[in-house]
């Protein structure tokens, strides 16, 4: 959690170090997996492609082959699909061309589709929809990006998730600047404005 706090405050170096330390100390499968992937995300933000991809691969191995059942109850949601979404986020941080962004977007989207509907439509998963939308937009796919933003907005406008609403607005603003006449982008803007 200290690694997560470092991420929230923008201290990415501490995020990597604290998450790495947590991964070494953790004995519970879910806790260790979460720490490893979080370190991978930090490494991706810092531009360490090899380290980030190694970390997410290690996290996937731990969750697949781990046997510890002593995770906190708060980790009930930690399933392979969440790791796949995290892999997509890592790929988006590392992307440097439209094809790489689309690979990241599709990775997140495919994992979202695999989630049970109760999780797929939850507020905390909506931010992954926004991440996928941002990657679709960076990959030159405004229609797919618009669909993701519409879905995320429908979820968080009902729950009041202000952080995610802000993320939706930021992604849409970039899209509107790039595709001001695209009907799907315009529709999303109107949906956002109605809230």
Q: pLDDT per residue over 50-91, tens digit each? A: 999 999 999 988 888 766 556 555 554 567 888 899 999 999
Average pLDDT over residues 126-151: 96
Are 50 and 23 within 8 A, CB to CB? no
Q: Count how many Cα atoms sit within 13 Å of the Cα of residue 121 in the half-sphere of its side chain.
A: 6
Q: What is the largest CA-CA distance in the chain?
A: 53
Q: DSSP 3-state assignment of 173? A: helix
Q: Which two tokens stand for residue 22?
A: 């947590």
Q: pLDDT per residue over 3-57, tens digit each? A: 888 878 888 988 999 999 988 988 888 888 889 999 999 999 999 999 999 999 9
């Amino acid at each position: 959690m200290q690694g997560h706090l470092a991420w929230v405050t923008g201290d990415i170096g501490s995020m990597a170090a604290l998450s790495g330390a947590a991964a070494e100390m953790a004995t519970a499968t879910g806790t260790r997996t979460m720490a490893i992937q979080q370190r991978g995300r930090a490494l991706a933000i810092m531009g360490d492609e090899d380290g980030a991809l190694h970390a997410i691969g290690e996290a996937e191995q731990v969750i697949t082959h781990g046997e510890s059942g002593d995770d906190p109850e708060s980790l009930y949601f930690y399933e392979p699909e969440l790791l796949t979404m995290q892999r997509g986020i890592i790929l988006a941080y590392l992307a440097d061309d439209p094809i790489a962004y689309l690979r990241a977007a599709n990775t997140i989207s495919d994992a979202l589709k695999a989630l049970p509907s109760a999780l797929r439509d939850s507020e905390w998963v909506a931010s992954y929809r926004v991440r996928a939308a941002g990657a679709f937009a960076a990959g030159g796919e405004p229609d797919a990006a618009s669909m993701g933003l519409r879905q995320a907005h429908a979820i968080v406008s009902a729950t009041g998730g202000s952080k995610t609403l802000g993320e939706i607005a930021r992604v849409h603003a970039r899209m509107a600047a790039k595709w001001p006449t695209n009907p799907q982008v315009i529709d999303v803007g109107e949906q956002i404005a109605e809230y």
